[in-house]
Amino acid sequence: MRAGGAPTTEPMAVPVPASVPPIEVSFPSLAAYAAGNCGIPYAWTFAARRTGPHVLVQGLTHGNEVCGAIALDWLLREGLRPARGTLSVVFANVAAYERFDPGDPFASRCVDEDFNRLWSADVLDGSRESTELRRARALRPLYERVDHLLDLHSMSDPCLPLAMAGRQRKGLALAQALGFPQHIVIDGGHSAGRRRR
């Protein structure tokens, strides 16, 4: 579920709450997932014998939004496999996650720039370099093979869970098909750069 930022549209920079809430959960080590199994670090793909859609579930688009990492760590440890089609599990911005500092949790949202503002061909094919662009370019071939992508974010404000569906009908259809969360936001994207949905 896309949920990084304010309940309606994500601001340019996520505002830091006046008081940083206490960190009440422990974060998983991702060392066991570093190798990946599809030629990309921290990316795992499992194909069933029966044909079906390719679904990718991602966490850590933002390095300090750990709910996705916790969920995907659980999913991999449980050995969940698709009954048909293909399931990919991706820890996106691990470099930022590994810099997490409980005393300054918002600093590890990214290393150089927001991983979720890079998703247009001119940026990806351009000559610019950053930690996030290198990761985006490594993951791009995998993204281009998937039919459905679910990107798990954490909120920086206390609010109800929500899905960010974008303006395309397929995003709304995916959010409605999941049936949770109840609230679905249809917004027009971000002026700072294209997001991956």
Binding site for Zn ion (CB under 5 A): 4, 62, 65, 153
Of how many residues is the chain composed? 197
Are the C-beta atoms of residues 43 and 88 closer than 8 Å to each other? yes
Residue 178: CB minimum distance to Zn ion, A = 18
Compute the least distance from the CB of residue 37 to Zn ion, in Å.
Answer: 26
Closer by beta carbon to Zn ion, 30 or else 92: 92
153 vs 197 by CB, closer to Zn ion: 153
State the nearest-atom distance from the C-beta of 11 to Zn ion, in Å. 11
Q: Which residues pair with 86 in a beta bridge?
A: 47, 54
Q: Which is nearer to Zn ion, 48 or 178 (by Cβ)?
A: 178
CA–CA distance, 135 with 147 (Å, rounded to integer): 20
Among residues 45 and 174, whose Cβ is nearest to Zn ion? 174
DSSP code for 19 = S
Residue nearest Zn ion, Cβ-based: 4
- Distance of alpha carbon 161 from alpha carbon 185, whole angstroms: 11
Min. distance of Cβ 185 from Zn ion in angstroms?
13
- Distance of closest approach, residue 85 Cβ to Zn ion, in angstroms: 26
Q: Burial of 27 by CB count in 10 Å (0-12 exposed, 13-18 middle, 19+ buried)? A: middle
Comparing CB distances to Zn ion, the nearer of 4 and 28 is 4
Dist. CA 134–CA 138, nearest whole Å: 6
